[in-house]
Structure 1
Amino acid sequence: MSHTQTPVIVLGLGAMGRALAAAFVKAGVPTTVWNRSAGKDIDLVAAGAVRAASVAEAIGGDGLVISVLLDHASVHEQLDPVAGRLAGRRWLNLTSTAPEESRELAVWAREHDIEFLDGGIMAVPPMIGEDGSAIFYSGSRSLFDTHRGVLELLGSAEYFGADAGAAALNDFALLSSMYQMFVGFFHGAAMAGTGGMSATAFAQRAVPFLSAMVQGLPAYGQVIDSGEYAAQIQHLAFQQAALDAIVRASRDAGIATDTLEPIAALVGRQVEAGHGGLAFARFIEELRRAPVVATEPEVRH
């Protein structure tokens, strides 16, 4: 079956939902759309999408059901009342849900005889359907394989396995790196700004420097996977001294240190534990020490 013959039903028309629906409509995919508040589907309907007045009406026809809602609670709020109508259907969740929430949705779907695939979108709305857009998937392999042609209209599609939480886990892990990189840039721009440098000028210096630093990530990964943390240069004690100096400089400049001090504290704990002569990559072991509280996923009936 070609993707132009595979209908889709998009539930939720925030910025991302509209971008996904627009990509489907542009490719000639029969697309039904629903949103809680009115008005967000005007351009989509004008381009050929079909407006549904309710979730129940939207899922009344055939097609792959795609939820792109605000959060995990919103998914249950909208789909719990129509669970019976979804029995025997295929459902793709592209709402940003944490891994355990995605796993809970998979359990809920199984309880209601719904085939479930979860996804993590590695793109901002304007990137959807363009080069660089990528979406991670996990859950039903059959659903992924059957609808891959449609999914690839949105961006590259990568399957992470049957564990429904795997896509979200990898999505959030990369987003964690992204957010902390951006916050680091903001902190640096704030510091440089106290000396009169504009954020634009600081960015021009930060890009080549950070790009060069990123090239070291594969080597860090190899060290972490080996568990051999012998330091060649700039061991943890050196890093502690450097971070403490940056914290002092930030305070002297009147810049908040809320994001930087926890990093310095984690390095300090490693040094206090006797690991000061080991490589900076051992920092990850301090993160792994965080207690994990095992909880059973909540199952809604």
Structure 2
Amino acid sequence: MNSENTTPVTVIGLGLMGRALAGAFLRAGHPTTVWNRTAAKADALVAEGARLAPTAGEALAAGPLTVICVTDYQAMYDALGTSEPLLSGRTLINLTSGDSAQAREAARWAEGRGARYLDGAIMAVPPVIGTAEAVILASGPRADFDAHRPALEALGTASYLGTDPGLASLYDVAGLAMMWSVLNAWLQGTALLRTAGVDAATYAPFARQLAAGVADWLPGYAEQIDNGAFPAEVSALETDVRAMAHLIEESEAVGVNTELPKLIKAMADRAIAAGHGGEQYPVLIEEFSKPR
């Protein structure tokens, strides 16, 4: 490996994810310094070649790049608070979960102390860190992302989203919304089919095929949303809402929970009442965009 690809890295926070991050850096050949409030969590990493810093400040001083993965943003401030003079000239990549407002405030906080700052999100579970399957989202100054991309790619597939430091957090929660919505829809269908003796394993391949087919609709639907025009090329919302009613009726008949389909139908009913019944399903973006 060349020197560009073996930048010394500090990892602050050694929960399950933090330990996975540090391990991936070590396997990629990065000299890795670690710090955690509970030092014993570093034992296995030290055995693999990591250096345990006695304080967060010494960890920060060990190299130009510090990756933070702690409980929340306040924990980040607490960890770095006594080491603020050491932040100047260093790059922080914060992979702590939080919201977009917290990310933007953290960027201002770091920049006010002379540090460069990227906010990020990890779209993976700890066991896949270090493989291409792990997606590492990052937002903030492009030059800082480019400078440290080789290090981030030791963790997985690094994806740059834009200069707004809040974008990684927004993509993170948008991804969670997608994940839970797909899983909830599958659970609704599974609950229905179980009433007829069909087990989840039998239904899963059909559900997977259907989910993949729906995913193929997204680029065209995205174009409608971005253009603000929703011609009913496939089905009108007023047709879809009749199918929603059928789903609710069938669920009630077999004794399955109807809260989720009723929620979606209520949104569709509002859109139809607003005059959108002849338009295509993505017109519901207007309902999803309203605070309630």
Say yes or no: TM over 0.5. yes
Change (3 A) 1:285 1:60: same
**Cα separation, 1, equivalents of 2:286 and 2:141:** 33
**Cα separation, 2, equivalents of 1:244 and 1:118:** 43
Q: Which residue is 2:47 aligned to?
A: 46
Residue 33, structure 1, aligned to residue 6, structure 2: no
Q: How far apart are 1:124 and its partner, in Å?
A: 2.1
In structure 1, give the amino acid aligned to 2:95.
L
Maintained 8 Å contact 1:9/1:58: yes
Q: How far apart are 1:3 and its partner, in Å?
A: 4.2
Q: Which residue is 2:244 aligned to?
A: 243
Q: Which residue is 2:126 aligned to?
A: 125
Residue 158, structure 1, aligned to residue 127, structure 2: no
Change (3 A) 1:192 1:17: same
1:241-264 Cα distance to aligned partner (Å, 9 max, x none): 211221232233333333332211
Give TM-score scaled by structure 1 length: 0.89
Q: How far apart are 1:134 and its partner, in Å?
A: 2.1
Change (3 A) 1:256 1:14: farther
Q: Which residue is 1:173 aligned to?
A: 174
**Cα separation, 1, equivalents of 2:64 and 2:110:** 17
Q: How far apart are 1:279 and its partner, in Å?
A: 1.0
Aligned alpha-carbon RMSD (Å): 2.0
**Cα separation, 1, equivalents of 2:56 and 2:86:** 10
Change (3 A) 1:15 1:283: same
- Of stretches 245-254 and 199-208 in structure 1, the one that deviates more from structure 2 is 245-254
Q: Which residue is 2:80 aligned to?
A: 79
Q: How far apart are 1:203 and its partner, in Å?
A: 0.8
Q: Which residue is 2:110 aligned to?
A: 109
Q: Which residue is 1:193 aligned to?
A: 194
Residue 206, structure 1, aligned to residue 201, structure 2: no
- Of stretches 112-121 and 158-167 in structure 1, the one that deviates more from structure 2 is 158-167
**Cα separation, 2, equivalents of 1:55 and 1:261:** 51
Maintained 8 Å contact 2:6/2:28: no
**Cα separation, 2, equivalents of 1:230 and 1:141:** 38
**Cα separation, 1, equivalents of 2:157 and 2:195:** 42
Give TM-score scaled by structure 2 length: 0.92
Q: How far apart are 1:268 and its partner, in Å?
A: 0.9
Maintained 8 Å contact 1:3/1:29: no
1:267-292 Cα distance to aligned partner (Å, 9 max, x none): 1101111211111110111112337x
Maintained 8 Å contact 2:5/2:150: no
Q: How far apart are 1:30 and its partner, in Å?
A: 0.7
Q: Which residue is 1:12 aligned to?
A: 13
Q: How far apart are 1:45 and its partner, in Å?
A: 1.3
1:61-82 Cα distance to aligned partner (Å, 9 max, x none): 2231111112223222322332
Maintained 8 Å contact 1:4/1:30: no
Secondary structure of the 1:285 match is helix
Q: Which residue is 2:143 aligned to?
A: 142
**Cα separation, 2, equivalents of 1:90 and 1:232:** 49
Q: How far apart are 1:171 and its partner, in Å?
A: 2.9
**Cα separation, 1, equivalents of 2:147 and 2:230:** 45
Change (3 A) 1:199 1:227: same
Change (3 A) 1:24 1:281: same
**Cα separation, 1, equivalents of 2:250 and 2:78:** 49
Structure having the higher helix fraction is: 2
Q: How far apart are 1:38 and its partner, in Å?
A: 4.3
**Cα separation, 1, equivalents of 2:242 and 2:74:** 44
**Cα separation, 1, equivalents of 2:5 and 2:149:** 12
Identical positions, percent: 39
Q: How far apart are 1:4 and its partner, in Å?
A: 5.4
Secondary structure of the 1:39 match is helix
Q: Which residue is 2:277 aligned to?
A: 276
Structure 1 unaligned runs (5+)?
292-301
Q: How far apart are 1:172 and its partner, in Å?
A: 2.5
How many aligned residue pairs are there? 291
In structure 2, give the amino acid aligned to 1:210.
A
Q: Which residue is 1:221 aligned to?
A: 222
